[in-house]
Amino acid sequence: MKKKTKKVFRIDCTKDSYIFENEFFINNELPEGDIVINLITNDSLINRINRYDLSLEIKITINEFYNGGEVNFIFLDGKDYNIKYEKLENLDPELRKKYLNNYEREEIIENKGLPIILENELIDLQNINKLFRGDLIIKLKLELPYDFNYDSINNNQNN
């Protein structure tokens, strides 16, 4: 008979799946099995992309999309952030084309993503803020009004 023992497993949430081989006692005939843990993230305001980067989606008006503006939000660290972005016409032509094709703009805050933890690296939680991190990508998504009128853009640009 096998004695039950308590084991602690370290789970790095930047990975999608873990397999702990021969760590599960089934019965005396088939004594060991594997523990498989699949991490499935739920949709939320902040999503993980590119392993260590985080993405936050904010809807903006057509006027803000073309004429620039600013957005405010409170991030996971509890701090208020203010992101200012320029008029579309002031941007590099390739970037402007990308934004127009995707109907969204991107602003990046470096080192505000998930901590980058190397394999088998022990982490001192007191120093977690000193780790290298991925980026926070703010996606400013164009939200067209139901009564969209191209003339409204021209009128706002002439004011």
CA–CA distance, 134 with 8 (Å, rounded to integer): 27
Instruction: Answer yes or no: do 31 and 70 share one domain.
Output: no
Q: Which helix (H) or strand (E) holds 73?
A: strand 69-74
Confidence tier at 18 by pLDDT (50, 70, 90): confident
Instruction: Answer yes or no: do 73 and 14 share one domain.
Output: no
Instruction: Answer yes or no: do 17 and 55 share one domain.
Output: no
Q: Which helix (H) or strand (E) holds 74?
A: strand 69-74
Instruction: Answer yes or no: do 101 and 136 share one domain.
Output: yes
Confidence tier at 35 by pLDDT (50, 70, 90): confident
Please count the structural domains in the chain: 2
Instruction: Answer yes or no: do 127 and 87 share one domain.
Output: yes
Quick one: which of 96, 19, 107, 11 has its CA closest to 58?
107
Reported as a single tens digit per residue, the pLDDT across 123-159 is: 555 555 667 889 999 999 999 877 766 665 555 555 5
Q: Picking from 91-95, 105-109, 146-150, which range would have the lowest pLDDT averaged per residue?
A: 146-150
Quick one: which of 23, 40, 39, 19 has its CA closest to 31?
23
Q: Which domain holds residue 95?
A: 42-158
Own/partner long-range contacts of 43-47 (Cβ < 8 Å, ≥24 apart) = 46/76
Report, as an integer, the average pLDDT of 65-94.
Answer: 92
The residue with greater pLDDT, 13 or 71, is: 71
Q: If 0-12 CB within 10 Å is exposed, 13-18 middle and 19+ buried, where does residue 31 land?
A: exposed
Instruction: Answer yes or no: do 142 and 70 share one domain.
Output: yes
Q: If 0-12 CB within 10 Å is exposed, 13-18 middle and 19+ buried, where does residue 150 land?
A: exposed
Instruction: Answer yes or no: do 14 and 1 share one domain.
Output: yes
Instruction: Answer yes or no: do 74 and 118 share one domain.
Output: yes
Going by DSSP bridges, is the β-strand pair 17-25/32-38 parallel, antiparallel, or unpaired?
Answer: antiparallel
- Edge-to-edge strand ranges of the sheet holding 46-49: 46-49, 53-60, 136-142, 104-109
Confidence tier at 50 by pLDDT (50, 70, 90): confident
Instruction: Answer yes or no: do 27 and 47 share one domain.
Output: no
Instruction: Answer yes or no: do 67 and 32 share one domain.
Output: no
Taking each continuous run of H as one helix and of E as one strand, the counts in the chain are 3, 8
Q: List the CATH number of the domain containing 75.
A: 2.60.260.20
